Every structure is written in structure tokens, then in C-alpha cells.
Structure 1
Amino acid sequence: MTRIRSAHRRGIRLASATVLASVVALVAAGCSAAAAPAPSPTELSGISTAKVEALFQQGAADLHMPGAFLLLETPDGEFSSSYGATQIGGETPPAAGTHIRVGSNTKTWTGTVILQLAEEGKLKLDDPVSRFRSDVPNGENITIRMLLDMRSGLYNYTEDPGLAAAMDANPQRVWAPAELIKVGLSQPPYFAPDQGYHYSNTNTAILGTIIEQLENKSLHDVFQERLFNPLGMSDTLFPVATDADLPRPLSHGYSFGTNVGTLNAPALDASQLQDFYAGLLAPDDHTFDNPSWAYAAGAGISTAHDLAIWAKALANGTLLDPAYQAQRTQFQKVSPTAPSNAATYGLALANFGGYYGHTGELPGYNSFVASNPKTGVTLVVWANLAPTGDGKDPATTIARSIIESVG
């Protein structure tokens, strides 16, 4: 059984970001044995690490996570915290180098390459998508920019019940991008181009095919050459569809229910939820489900350590020139009625109250990745049960509580 509800299917929820971490072991001079780890700092850039630790540990416990990890980085130093284990019944704690599926954080990779191609003159952000694909209905009025900022109106293929049923029937199926896009284009649009906002994986899947068309390379190779290698993200990859297993060390990922059953109602029903809280209901292991259905919108793999590197590059525009970073960060409300503290969205990038990044969820994995370009504070949180029994995105929920409490 599998679940496709998430930032992938549902859209981005409010959260925020703060920072990355690791504990440094000191080696005594002239001695063969390592000294005890250095004690964690009690405060970093005005942030109480004890408070962050308490919020993280309590949040993971309250949400009944098998395992979770937090990585915090500030200009003054780093802090990390681990909860539970990488596998139910196991003893290995999550770590900064544990591989997870990052879900919709992959969208920021796709968006960054599209912006690089615009810098290089290989496309324009206001090009109609019909320049690259003749199969997109009304494609002459849908621009590359609208695909990036989720204002195309195109139907989100991961909301399709037929796709959900097919994934339930065969979680190991290898999906071709053309199959996914066909599902998205077969349904009526939500609205006319640029007349609203609707988070749609169809947008990002189309952008992925445009990248491969212009570069004449797979996304696996393009991301490696343009993003991961320049930034030194050696534990990050966009897997090929036929070989998408997680590298070791890895965290297993757990979820409840089926795609069809949870398409519109991610939470367990009342009796199931009671059993879950009592420890009588075990989730399903989705670690080795094939994520090719997420393609350019969410099939990526990384670690907390590498995601912190990526968050800082996103916030600072490291891989873009200033003009395109400025366009990318022209954030807009996702709804006219959205509250003032709600996340806003730019060009394949979200703004969580001054922290730039994204959230991601695949069956069994939820991650929050963001950095504040003004303060230099970066926060990465991931969890290995997604969503929670009551339908929450755990990493996003924990990150929000930290940001709201410590600023």
C-alpha cells in the first residue's frame, strides 16, 4: 500500500526554518582514543539550543514518530538532535548522513536549473510552454514562469484517482514522465492561465522534460553537473527510474493506508487512531517503493547535511545571478484569503516568514528545508512516518513550532 498525499499532492503548508548541525569529536593529541564529544553550545546566534532540543524531542514524541532528525546551523555554530531510530524495532539513530526521500524539495532543483537555462538564453521565463511542448492545452498562453509559480491552472496529476489505484496495485511500477503528464493534461484545468494558484506536480513534470530536451541529458546527470557537484553535495542524487533505492545508511519510511483510501482523507478514522496511539496499529513500510511517479516534482534523495547546504544556496542565490534570484524571490500569496503568516510562493521556492526553502513528502518521509538569508540561520527537519496518524506533516509541524517559539 502507498500514499501520495503530501506537499506533493496537497501543496505547501506553513512552516519555518532555522538551522543545521553536527557534533564534533575531539581527538587528544598523542592518544589513540578519541576524547568525549564536545558539549553542545547552549546558545547559537541568540537561539537557545536547549529550547530547540526540547521542542524537537517533544514534537517527535507527540506525533509518535519512529524516527526524526533536526539539523540547525547559525553563523555562530551548529546543533543537531536525533529522535528514535531509522527503522521500527531497530537501534540505529537518525544522523546527518542518513539518506531519505526528499519529496517536493526536488522541485527547487528543477526550478533552479530552469532559471539557469534562462540566464544562459536557452529559454525565457515568459516563453509559452507551446514553444517546447505542443500537447499542453492552451499552451500558447501558459508561460514557463506560470509553471514555476503554480499559476498555470493545469490539473495536478497526483490528485487523479486512477493514478492512485495504479500505484496501489503496483508500488514498484516504473512511471515514464509522459505517462504522468498525460494524466495531468487529460483533465480540465482549475482556472485560466495566471488567474489563480494551485499546487500542481504536472507543472514541474513538464519543466523536467523541458530541461532534458534542452540539455539532451537525463535529469540525473543535469542535477549532478549543475547543482550537486558544484556545491559538494556528495550524498544527494536524483535516481534513475529503474534504480531508485536509497543508498546506505538510510532511514526506512512508514505510512498508513492506500493511495485511493487516503486521497482526500489522510487521517486515520477514530477507531484506527485510537489503536495507533495505543501502539496497536503498525504502519506499512514504503522504503523501497519506486518514486518515479514523482519525477522532477519529488523523486530526489538526500541527507540532512546536504539539504542544509542546499537550503543556504537557495536562500543566498548561490547558483543564480542576482537578477534571477530577485525574480525567484518575488513571493506571492497562494490565496487572497490566506492569513498573514501563511507561506508564500515564488519560482519553485517558498517563503516561510523570511526563511526560503520548501517542504517535501512521499509515502513515509516528510522534510522541511529552509534558510533565512538575512540571519544566516538554516533549519532542516525530517521524519520517517508521514503523514501522522491524524493527518499532519510531522517535520513541517515540528519546524513550525521551533520557529514560532525561538524566532
Structure 2
Amino acid sequence: MGMKKIISGLVLISSCLSGVYAQDNRAKTIDSVLAVYNKQGMFNGAVLVTQYGRPLFAKGYGYRDVAKKIANDTNTVFQIGSITKTYTATMVLMLQEQGKLNVKDKLAKYMPDYPDGEKITIENLLTHTSGIYNYTEDTTFANKGLFTTKSRKEMLAVFKDKLTGIEPGTTFNYSNSNYILLGYIIEDITGKPYYTALREMMLQPLGMHNTGSNFAGLKNKYKATGYFSIDDNNGIKAPLVDSSVSYAAGCIYTTVGDLMKWADAVQRAKLLRKESWIAATTEYKQHYGYGWMIGESLSKKSIGHNGGVHGFVSNMFMTPDDAHTVILLSNVMDNDLAPIRRNITAIVNNKPFELPEFRNEIKLPAALLKDYAGKYELAPNFYIDITLEGDKLFAQATGQTKLRMYAERKDFFFLKLVDAQFSFARDAAGKVEKLNLRQGGRILPGIKK
């Protein structure tokens, strides 16, 4: 796979994940960077960085349980959402190597009555080119159906007959439904529940003892509470998605240490023959292979996946050419992990990196905060509503989540959950008449209506 030679023998993870390697300045730099993200409310979770099969850095930040003030550490158990797809795809390829299926098989072979089943292949499911409707886009189901146990029949009823009009094999269209179907096929071939097949085929052989699928039923003192957001040490809890709903598309929970074992297995080509790993990690369409996202990091090929499920986000990518892996798990749904991973990758490779600017909050009197409340037009039919609730100011863009604003100085505010700032301009009489939204290197003016 083009990797440099990896040090033989996997280091005992339990003894290595308590902190950083003091002799490597990169670890200290990573820690300082993550401390900034945590201070700014942009990262709450655990991180593990490896190179050549050894931990380079591992640590937890923020809280596993905000109300009880229990800190995250490397033992914290998180849901990982769509990283689950990498496991499901691997199980499919293991069954192919056993001669029990072929990725060129038609879906109709396993589900004779599925619409367009004679056109859709297992490969189309793996690569999100089936054209099948994505069940998580059903807003009614998303609002009411995610949190209770569903049978196979009930799940199929959500998406089976909702045709998209996309011809199978022609277009990349990310759909969680593809991996729900793959999970059912795995069950039918093995004669075992998906969770049992996962444990027997992957988790036990790789020694992943802190990984499972029924997070709601997990009894573990290291289990994280998932939050939509955390603000001023107050967390808005997220409801748990039932594992029968997230299922083979996103039901797995794990720790950074167990994900290290998974990443090591991938880089050492375990569980599958070399040719199967090459097929899995080769781009099919739109930077996606068989359950793997394929991209480029510092001009080197990277493979991995990200994930999100109510209360949790995850990001795991590895670069085979220099055998390094970055694993980021968060129990706050609005944390954006991609820029953090890019910074860590730059540090591992001794390249320049960028940090969100550190900003200090000051308190402004409520009488002054009233000046900013109002509706600001940034574009036709696109507004930012700024509201005052008690002594706190909030901004909500059209169709987006309401976010709290923090004052850095008079007429200048910043967000913690997003790297964005607001500056306000006043007229000759001292009344606020417009704002400038600064985000992503752009400045968008808005007129107060």
C-alpha cells in the first residue's frame, strides 16, 4: 500500500494512552493547539495520533458528563456514526473472500422485490452509487422515528419505495440506506444478527473489547453523554438514536484506543487480502471507495471517514505514505473536527498550521446589548436575527441554528461554536445600522431592517 515499514508489534495501548511522549515536541504542540480549540468551545472529546503503529499523542479534553463535571479521557466511549461504514464494508469484502457473495451481485439476488434490484449491485451500495433514497433525509422520520427500536420491515418502509430517479451506477449520492441494506445482507448470509457478526468477524480478532453497537444499552462508567452543544459549562443533551435505526450505517461505539487498533489493522492489511484492501481504498466516484473516503493531505493520499449522530461527531483519517493516523472523537455535535485534523496533520509533518484566533469575552450591560437586537438582511431572503435573552445575545441565520454571541469589545462579537465574528456600525446618532459578518475569509455586510 506504499507505506513505509511499520515497526513490528503493536504497543500495549492501555499503558500508552495516558499522555504524551515528552521527548517529541510535536506532542506538546498538538496539546497546545487542542487546548486552544477546547478553550474556544470548539473541541470537547478525545484525540489519538499515531505514527508507525505507536501513539504519538493521546488525551481527553472537556467533559464526558458536563453536569457531573466528569472529564473526558482516552477511556471515554463515544458513538462514531458513519465510521461504522468502514466496518460494514470490510465485512462485505470478507464474505466475498469466503465466496459467499460478490460485489458484482445484483441486489435482487438477496432482496428479490426491491425496486430496481436487477440494476443495483452490491458495489453500488458500497460506493453510494445505487440511487437509493437516503432515509435520514425524511424529516418526519428524523423528528419522530430515530429514537425507538425498528424492525427490518419498518426500516425498509421508510425508504424502499421513495425513488430518486437516479440511474444506478451513474452518480454518487451519499445515502445511509445503502449501508442499512448491506447490514441486512450480512445478516442473511451469516445467519446471525449484524451485531453478532461484527463481533465475531472483526472485534474479537482485533481485540477491540471496548467497541460495540447498542450504545443506549451500554453500562460503562466511561460512557459519554452526547450533547447538541455545550455553552458556559451547560450542555444541551441529545437524545440517543436507536441502534436498529443507525444500524450498519452508524451504530458503532468505541474508544480512541480501539480505533487505533482498527487503523493499525487497515495499515497492516489485516482481515482482508491485499487486493481487497486496494479495491476498498481506491476511489470509485467522488473520492469514495468501498466504505472509505479517499482524499489528499499534504500531497499524500489519505483514507478514512467522518461521522455524526445525535450528540456525537467523529473523524478518523490515516496517511499510508507516512503511516500516521489522526483520530478525533467528540461528544458535542456542533464541533467541526476537520480543521482540527488538518492542523494536527500539519504538526505531525512539521508544516505550518493555523489556529482560531484566541478571543477573550467581556461583559457588556444589557442596556447596551439591546442596541444590537434586530433583523439584518445579508442577501435577498437571507437574514440574521439577533435577539437578547436576559443578558445573553444570540444570532440565528435563516434556516440555521441559534448560536450565542460573545462580546470582545463594544460593537464586536464572536461565536465560539463557529469561527465567525460580527462587527457593528452606528450612524451619526449612535444607533446601530448595520453589521459585518466575518467568516471563512469573507466579510458579508447586513443592513438592519
Taking structure 2 as the reference length, what is the TM-score of the superposition? 0.68
| Aligned match of 1:349 | 292
What is the rounded CA distance, in whole Å, between the counterparts of 2:15 and 2:177 in structure 1?
Answer: 43
Matched-pair identity in %:
26
What is the rounded CA distance, in whole Å, between the counterparts of 2:194 and 2:19 in structure 1?
Answer: 41
Offset, 1:327: 1.1
What is the rounded CA distance, in whole Å, between the counterparts of 1:284 and 1:71 in structure 2?
Answer: 26
What is the rounded CA distance, in whole Å, between the counterparts of 2:271 and 2:86 in structure 1?
Answer: 12
| Aligned match of 1:363 | 310
| Aligned match of 1:269 | none
Larger-Rg structure: 2
The DSSP-based 3-state class of the residue aligned with 1:183 is helix
The DSSP-based 3-state class of the residue aligned with 2:94 is helix
Match status 1:40 vs 2:21: yes
| Aligned match of 1:119 | 97
What is the rounded CA distance, in whole Å, between the counterparts of 1:361 and 1:173 in structure 2?
Answer: 18
Which structure carries more strand by proportion?
2
Q: Which has the bigger relative contact order, CA under 8 A and spacing at least 6?
A: 1
Contact kept, 8 Å, 1:129 with 1:143, in 2: the verdict is yes
Q: CA RMSD in A?
A: 2.6
| Aligned match of 1:78 | 56
The DSSP-based 3-state class of the residue aligned with 1:69 is strand
Q: Deviations over 1:86-118 (max 9, x none)?
A: 111333321222111111111111111100111
Contact kept, 8 Å, 1:157 with 1:184, in 2: the verdict is yes
Taking structure 1 as the reference length, what is the TM-score of the superposition? 0.75
Change (3 A) 1:381 1:129: same
Which of 7, 28, 34 is the aligned partner of 1:50?
28
Change (3 A) 1:24 1:130: closer
Match status 1:401 vs 2:379: no
Structure 2 unaligned residues grouped into runs of 5+: 1-10, 350-449
Q: Deviations over 1:37-73 (max 9, x none)?
A: 8873342xxx7122222222222333444x3111111
The DSSP-based 3-state class of the residue aligned with 1:224 is helix
Contact kept, 8 Å, 2:19 with 2:59, in 1: the verdict is no
The DSSP-based 3-state class of the residue aligned with 1:208 is helix
Offset, 1:324: 1.1
| Aligned match of 2:38 | 60
Contact kept, 8 Å, 2:20 with 2:57, in 1: the verdict is no
Match status 1:313 vs 2:265: yes
Contact kept, 8 Å, 2:186 with 2:194, in 1: the verdict is yes
Match status 1:301 vs 2:253: yes
What is the rounded CA distance, in whole Å, between the counterparts of 1:297 and 1:38 in structure 2?
Answer: 32
Which of 313, 318, 330 is the aligned partner of 1:383?
330
Which of 78, 83, 87 is the aligned partner of 1:105?
83
Contact kept, 8 Å, 1:60 with 1:398, in 2: the verdict is no
Consecutive aligned runs of 4 or more in structure 1 exceeding 4 Å deviation: 20-25
Contact kept, 8 Å, 1:365 with 1:383, in 2: the verdict is yes
The count of residues paired between Structure 1 and Structure 2 equals: 333
Offset, 1:404: 4.3
| Aligned match of 2:222 | 249
Change (3 A) 1:223 1:303: same
Contact kept, 8 Å, 1:71 with 1:380, in 2: the verdict is yes
What is the rounded CA distance, in whole Å, between the counterparts of 1:153 and 1:200 in structure 2?
Answer: 8
What is the rounded CA distance, in whole Å, between the counterparts of 2:162 and 2:303 in structure 1?
Answer: 32
The DSSP-based 3-state class of the residue aligned with 2:164 is coil
The DSSP-based 3-state class of the residue aligned with 1:123 is coil
Which of 149, 160, 168 is the aligned partner of 1:185?
160
The DSSP-based 3-state class of the residue aligned with 1:109 is helix
